[in-house]
Amino acid sequence: MTTRYRADLPAWIFIGGLSCLPWLIVWADSVHGFRPVDWLVAFAVSVFSFAWLFSFCIVITPTEICFRSLFRGQQSIRHDQIRKVQLVWNLWNRTRGPLQLVIESRGGGGRVLSINAKVFSKAAIDAVLDLGARVAEADDGGLRDGVVMRTLRERKQNRK
Protein backbone atom coordinates (compact mmCIF):
# COMPACT_ATOMS: atom_id res chain seq x y z
CA MET A 1 0.00 0.00 0.00
CA THR A 2 1.38 3.37 -1.00
CA THR A 3 1.00 6.25 1.45
CA ARG A 4 1.60 9.87 0.44
CA TYR A 5 2.16 12.76 2.85
CA ARG A 6 2.16 16.43 1.92
CA ALA A 7 2.86 19.58 3.93
CA ASP A 8 0.51 19.98 6.89
CA LEU A 9 -2.16 22.70 7.25
CA PRO A 10 -0.25 24.79 9.87
CA ALA A 11 2.69 25.05 7.44
CA TRP A 12 0.33 26.26 4.70
CA ILE A 13 -1.16 28.86 7.04
CA PHE A 14 2.26 30.10 8.21
CA ILE A 15 3.84 30.25 4.75
CA GLY A 16 0.62 31.74 3.34
CA GLY A 17 0.78 34.47 5.97
CA LEU A 18 4.41 35.20 5.21
CA SER A 19 3.75 35.32 1.49
CA CYS A 20 1.07 37.98 2.12
CA LEU A 21 3.62 40.44 3.56
CA PRO A 22 4.66 41.74 0.11
CA TRP A 23 0.97 42.32 -0.68
CA LEU A 24 0.67 44.35 2.51
CA ILE A 25 3.60 46.47 1.37
CA VAL A 26 2.02 46.92 -2.09
CA TRP A 27 -1.23 47.99 -0.46
CA ALA A 28 0.54 50.46 1.86
CA ASP A 29 2.51 51.86 -1.08
CA SER A 30 -0.59 52.22 -3.28
CA VAL A 31 -1.11 55.79 -2.06
CA HIS A 32 1.84 56.72 -4.31
CA GLY A 33 0.17 55.23 -7.35
CA PHE A 34 0.22 51.96 -9.27
CA ARG A 35 3.68 50.45 -9.68
CA PRO A 36 3.75 47.27 -11.79
CA VAL A 37 7.12 46.20 -10.36
CA ASP A 38 5.65 46.09 -6.84
CA TRP A 39 2.78 43.90 -8.01
CA LEU A 40 5.12 41.63 -9.95
CA VAL A 41 7.44 41.14 -6.94
CA ALA A 42 4.50 40.42 -4.61
CA PHE A 43 3.05 37.94 -7.09
CA ALA A 44 6.43 36.22 -7.61
CA VAL A 45 7.02 35.89 -3.86
CA SER A 46 3.57 34.38 -3.32
CA VAL A 47 3.88 31.92 -6.21
CA PHE A 48 7.37 30.85 -5.14
CA SER A 49 6.29 30.36 -1.50
CA PHE A 50 3.36 28.15 -2.41
CA ALA A 51 5.35 26.22 -5.04
CA TRP A 52 8.08 25.55 -2.45
CA LEU A 53 5.54 24.27 0.05
CA PHE A 54 3.61 22.23 -2.52
CA SER A 55 6.82 20.47 -3.59
CA PHE A 56 7.27 18.72 -0.22
CA CYS A 57 6.10 15.12 -0.43
CA ILE A 58 6.89 11.86 1.37
CA VAL A 59 5.79 8.65 -0.36
CA ILE A 60 6.06 5.33 1.46
CA THR A 61 5.63 2.32 -0.82
CA PRO A 62 5.95 -1.37 0.10
CA THR A 63 9.55 -1.34 -1.17
CA GLU A 64 10.93 2.18 -0.74
CA ILE A 65 10.53 5.63 0.77
CA CYS A 66 10.73 8.72 -1.43
CA PHE A 67 11.12 12.37 -0.47
CA ARG A 68 10.67 15.27 -2.84
CA SER A 69 11.39 18.96 -2.34
CA LEU A 70 11.86 21.93 -4.63
CA PHE A 71 15.60 22.41 -4.16
CA ARG A 72 16.80 18.83 -3.69
CA GLY A 73 14.51 17.09 -6.16
CA GLN A 74 13.35 13.54 -5.53
CA GLN A 75 15.42 11.16 -3.43
CA SER A 76 14.56 7.61 -2.45
CA ILE A 77 15.91 4.70 -0.50
CA ARG A 78 14.78 1.08 -0.49
CA HIS A 79 13.55 -0.42 2.77
CA ASP A 80 16.24 -3.12 2.76
CA GLN A 81 18.93 -0.42 2.56
CA ILE A 82 17.78 1.46 5.67
CA ARG A 83 20.13 1.18 8.64
CA LYS A 84 18.65 3.82 10.97
CA VAL A 85 15.94 6.47 11.03
CA GLN A 86 16.42 9.41 13.39
CA LEU A 87 14.44 12.51 14.26
CA VAL A 88 17.00 15.21 15.06
CA TRP A 89 16.96 18.86 16.07
CA ASN A 90 19.91 20.89 14.79
CA LEU A 91 19.96 24.67 14.61
CA TRP A 92 23.51 24.84 13.27
CA ASN A 93 22.85 23.47 9.78
CA ARG A 94 22.01 26.53 7.66
CA THR A 95 21.14 24.66 4.47
CA ARG A 96 18.42 22.50 6.02
CA GLY A 97 15.59 23.00 8.47
CA PRO A 98 16.13 22.53 12.19
CA LEU A 99 13.87 19.47 12.52
CA GLN A 100 15.10 16.66 10.28
CA LEU A 101 14.19 13.03 9.67
CA VAL A 102 17.53 11.45 8.82
CA ILE A 103 17.50 8.05 7.11
CA GLU A 104 20.93 6.40 7.02
CA SER A 105 21.64 3.64 4.51
CA ARG A 106 23.45 0.38 5.16
CA GLY A 107 25.74 0.82 2.19
CA GLY A 108 29.41 1.59 2.61
CA GLY A 109 28.94 4.97 0.93
CA GLY A 110 27.20 6.38 3.98
CA ARG A 111 24.30 7.68 1.90
CA VAL A 112 21.87 9.76 3.94
CA LEU A 113 18.33 10.82 3.06
CA SER A 114 17.47 13.95 5.01
CA ILE A 115 13.80 14.98 5.19
CA ASN A 116 12.77 18.46 6.30
CA ALA A 117 10.26 17.40 8.97
CA LYS A 118 9.03 20.81 10.08
CA VAL A 119 6.41 21.07 7.34
CA PHE A 120 4.94 17.59 7.80
CA SER A 121 2.25 16.41 10.18
CA LYS A 122 2.91 14.29 13.24
CA ALA A 123 1.30 11.36 11.40
CA ALA A 124 3.87 11.63 8.57
CA ILE A 125 6.78 11.78 11.02
CA ASP A 126 5.35 8.82 12.97
CA ALA A 127 4.93 6.82 9.74
CA VAL A 128 8.59 7.31 8.79
CA LEU A 129 9.79 6.47 12.31
CA ASP A 130 7.52 3.40 12.43
CA LEU A 131 8.91 2.29 9.07
CA GLY A 132 12.41 2.63 10.49
CA ALA A 133 11.46 0.57 13.54
CA ARG A 134 9.96 -2.15 11.30
CA VAL A 135 12.85 -2.53 8.87
CA ALA A 136 15.88 -1.45 10.93
CA GLU A 137 16.38 0.90 13.88
CA ALA A 138 14.51 4.08 14.80
CA ASP A 139 15.33 6.86 17.25
CA ASP A 140 12.95 9.75 17.82
CA GLY A 141 15.41 11.55 20.11
CA GLY A 142 12.52 12.38 22.43
CA LEU A 143 11.22 14.78 19.77
CA ARG A 144 8.11 12.87 18.69
CA ASP A 145 5.91 15.25 20.68
CA GLY A 146 7.92 18.27 19.58
CA VAL A 147 10.84 20.33 20.84
CA VAL A 148 8.80 22.24 23.43
CA MET A 149 7.49 19.08 25.09
CA ARG A 150 11.00 17.61 25.23
CA THR A 151 12.32 20.79 26.86
CA LEU A 152 9.50 20.81 29.41
CA ARG A 153 10.10 17.13 30.26
CA GLU A 154 13.84 17.74 30.74
CA ARG A 155 13.16 20.79 32.88
CA LYS A 156 10.73 18.85 35.06
CA GLN A 157 13.26 16.03 35.50
CA ASN A 158 16.02 18.49 36.46
CA ARG A 159 13.85 20.00 39.21
CA LYS A 160 13.50 16.65 40.99
Q: Is the pLDDT of residue 97 over 80?
A: no
Confidence bin at 7 (pLDDT 50/70/90): very high
Give me the pLDDT at residue 95, please: 67
Q: What residues are paired with 10 via a beta bridge?
A: none
Give the CB-side neighbour count of residue 78, counting CA atoms within 13 A: 5
Give me the pLDDT at residue 151, please: 65
Confidence bin at 94 (pLDDT 50/70/90): low
Distance CA 103, CA 108 (A): 14
Distance CA 49, CA 47 (A): 6
DSSP state of 143: -
Distance CA 27, CA 6 (A): 32
- Least Cα distance to 103 among 137, 69, 56 occurs for 137
Mean of per-residue pLDDT scores for the chain? 85
Give me the pLDDT at residue 32, please: 80
Confidence bin at 160 (pLDDT 50/70/90): low
Question: 6 and 33 in contact (C-beta within 8 Å)?
Answer: no
38-61 pLDDT per residue, tens = 889 999 999 999 999 999 999 999
